[in-house]
Structure 1
């Protein structure tokens, strides 16, 4: 058993990279490092039952109790770990990855992702084989599985109540929804209908091998077509575990996470609810997001890439909104992690409360054209201190001035250098990105 955790839990091809033995050891680790009551949920993948059985067995072999949530979105596991007073939560999901993959992600008893040092202890313990047989509890002291029959209902009502508390109704709205054959098939349409919307949903069935396949937030074509077909006010698309959400406006245009965060942050400020007058994003956010926030007198704190870093900055400073362009939006007044359903409800409420269409709400931010070039290299560590690459970056920055931005960074998971340039036009962005990429390739490939 090698290294388990990447940027977001343990993940790999189920039964090959992510095995039952690994899941069993991680279950034991959960009891050792979090406590004896663990809430466990999963998405719709075929391998979910297998890994759940192994994970649960590990928890019970260490004397722990499993609160079985069944098929349910990842943010619901975070919420229910807290609501059910569990010591922690675990979700079995590979998020937006293809069906053959699966993953195991941990939350603490407050519904937050584990700190890096604690996650490392969990990993080290599991890699070492977990709890030795001699130290396991005897047969009359093993744990049990307790089904939580109303888990989905608790999550749906949490989102519905948050909108009702604002005095907002979705009556009169026509919404197209793509749930990606994933966990939100059980939650999002029902929540939106309870709020009054007329919802047409696609890809809400599942057989375990169709999650994320040509649908959902990674393939927006189907929900875009549905918006046009039914004349919807907007379209909503989740990934398989529904921790992210993207939108399509009535004209067929994509609304990404930056645009959603901008609209929500402006609305929070207008209502006097934007703590610290700050929105948190990453260094990969579009320059248009920063400009939109400046125009509304809102500060922007940019972190390293990854929602873990966004969340930590929010918690450290008491901020209430943060997100990523990919559709992970964290609204700390409502949940402790990215929550696709809550984000969808809050974005719609922004539109309704302010009398805006989805396009008008998103249009408060003008997206700068962005060019991203990935360069495969022999040693990505060579980026640091390379003078030729530094000169190429400086030349591009001087040419762009205040009308663009350059970000060159190593990939966190692959032997790649990512070159990202934003500019006033696609042509200018592509020109500078390709010029820098060529130097990176000459120097490091």
Structure 2
């Protein structure tokens, strides 16, 4: 947290017009120096007219926790003005903008387009598209940047913006977020809204969708060869597609059919609200789903894809048991950068849930198949959220694992450094004199990890490499270079994009559809897929909190640290704290349990939702004591962080009181706003405060504990 007094505006255009400072600039306000979370901004939305009392867009965001259309316009304006300054771009290059379907009124998407145009750039509008298409089309058309209006897997009452930089489509790093945040907080919306819409509106939707189909189905990207054994394999596969009523509605099913799947069933294809009745978010933390859990009293009764898979499984059970037919599910989130695979098991009548770790491990076999003798070992980049066993498993198979902080931006960063390394090696092979000691020193600093990365600094370094290379030189980037994985389903594999000017370039973005095609391609080769033996992996959440209470070296941080170290000592575990420079707000503990056994516990505020998680990772045999540690830390966080001023927390307590006093109840008989029912019950279930029983929803021991400590 930082207390600042804002005195000036960055934009020269705005400075000239600013005769009186806006209210936000004349008072000291405590606010975070970085407005963004893990991936851009996300908040519950409100129209500016609904904010009472009337305040600036920045105050609505910081003090009331709402994202207004005015703030969205400011955010887009500030980012585009930065691009124009940093990259010396001609405004005519344009900014690519797309969105998911959560804003049918287009109030928020229209505001973003206006922000782009008021900054002086043209808006290249794609409309409702998958998130990966924004950076893909941006690189294709050589635009100055890309903005995706989405709150990803978050509930439909929230929205946000993801940013993609022209440099290799990288997302901003924390340093870049801080610079943008400062600029936003120094702007006066009353002045911005009076600026002319200098940039143009350009419709690029048709050409962008054609590019997405072409890119997705290209064999070098899909890994599916034409007229191959894979396509014959797909003909005997039933595929249930769940685009979560989001950006892939209609589009994913079409591409799967073109890829060779004859029997495709689409659920949640745009007929309801985004991320409702399905999607990946409800699958997180599950490894198997029983048929009982898909019944009315179970947690997956409302998940349409899950129920459809059970329906088809029973209908085709004989063929499934013989092995002449397969039944899979491809599940995405609203903006389509995440993918989970579901597999129906006929002999047990259950579903296996394959998250990011599982699908990445399946894909890793293909990297080794791509690898030539001259190539180095493929990298396997995964985040701290992954199963500890997956890193050991890929290393045993011949890949080189490297762990990053949470967020696919850090995986992108690893990819970018690996590509730069390839370019440098080629330059040194051609002539050692070309690559100067000064440049070598700068490269060592960039890759050392001792300094936080900066997108513009990386871009400037590669621009210097461009000047050293012979015109027309192309460095051969092997497809076996690397694979990136987040357990939440953000998988990244190298793709090849042919730009508008005809040149082919490597691209690496989180792309749910590409991950699905790559996973199915590996399994469609008719060889038994690689599967690793998972360890124990669980995250305990508490929602509707005051996030600022858990920050580096805050009183609560120190209290959690002392408690974990004491618990480890009691168990006889050796504990040490591992620091991640890219995420200093994460408290990460490594435990040595003896006999080469290890475990991890880390506490981290979510960068995408108003919640904090206690993450537990270990071997299955050590799960009991680690869960006890996790439960103690979770209760400590619940006691200290719940936001008593939050309407959502008040609703939590109301539901818990009803279940405590009246016993199990059907969700429809709970006294609560019907518009908030779905989200509230989903969050209560994810927190483990309630669960399902044959008689209905009931309060759990954890729920009773929260009720007791907040009533005392």
Confirm whether residue 344 of structure 1 aligns to residue 438 of structure 2. Answer: no
Q: Return the match for 2:201 from 145, 166, 181.
A: 145
**What is the root-mean-square deviation of aligned Cα atoms in Å?**
3.0
Query: Is 1:23 aligned to residue 23 of structure 2?
Result: no
Kept in 1, the 8 Å contact 2:614–2:634? The answer is no
Runs (5+) with no aligned partner, structure 1: none
Deviation per CA, 1:251-280: give whole Å up to 9, x if none.
Answer: 220011001111111221132178642200
Q: Does 1:187 align with 2:259?
A: no
Give secondary structure in 2 for the equivalent of 1:119.
helix
1:11 aligns with 2:22: no
Query: 1:295 and 1:439, CA in 2 relative to 1: closer, same or farther beyond 3 A?
Result: same
Q: Give unpaired runs (5+ residues) of structure 2.
A: 1-23, 25-30, 48-65, 85-90, 284-299, 314-325, 346-350, 420-480, 497-506, 574-590, 641-712
Deviation at 1:307, TM superposition (A): 1.5
The partner residue of 1:218 within 264, 268, 281 is: 281
Counting only pairs closer than 5 Å after superposition, residues 64-79 of structure 1 correspond to structure 2 as 64-79=121-136
Pair 1:323 & 2:485 matched:
yes
Distance 1:441 1:137 in 2: 50
Matched, 1:83 2:83: no
Partner of 1:304: 405
Distance in 2 (alpha carbons) for counterparts of 1:18 and 1:47: 16
Contact 2:367/2:378 (CA < 8 Å) preserved in 1?
Answer: no
The answer (yes or no) to whether the contact 1:92–1:103 under 8 Å persists in 2 is yes
CA contact (8 A) 1:152 1:187 kept: no
Residue of structure 1 in register with 2:457 after alignment = none
The answer to whether residue 295 in structure 2 is matched with residue 99 in structure 1 is: no
**CA spacing shift, 1:276–1:143, aligned 2, 3 Å:** same
2:567 is matched with 392
Is the CA contact (8 Å cut-off) linking 2:377 and 2:399 kept in structure 1? no
Partner of 1:126: 184
- Distance in 2, matches of 1:165 and 1:215, equals 27
Report the more deviating stretch, 291-300 or 225-234: 225-234
1:19-74 CA-partner distances (Å, limit 9, x unpaired):
11112112222321224310110001036711111111121122210101010011
1:383 Cα deviation after fit: 4.0
Deviations 1:216-249 (A, max 9, x none): 1123543233233334531100001010000011
Q: Which residues in structure 2 correspond to 1:271-282 (within 5 Å)?
A: 271-272=370-371, 276-282=377-383
Residue 339 of structure 2, aligned match among 230, 242, 245: 245
Pair 1:433-2:492 in alignment? no
Partner in structure 2 of residue 45 of structure 1: 102
Q: Matched residue of 1:216: which SS?
A: coil
What secondary structure sits across from 1:364 in the alignment? coil
Rg larger in structure = 2
What is the distance in 1 between the residues matched to 2:482 and 2:531?
20
| Alpha-carbon distance in structure 1 between the residues aligned to 2:115 and 2:626 | 52
Please give the secondary structure, in 1, of the residue aligned with 2:98: strand
Contact 1:400 1:423 in 2 (8 A): no
For the residue of structure 2 that corresponds to 1:254, the secondary structure is strand
Cα drift, residue 212 of structure 1: 0.4
Q: CA deviation at 1:165?
A: 6.8
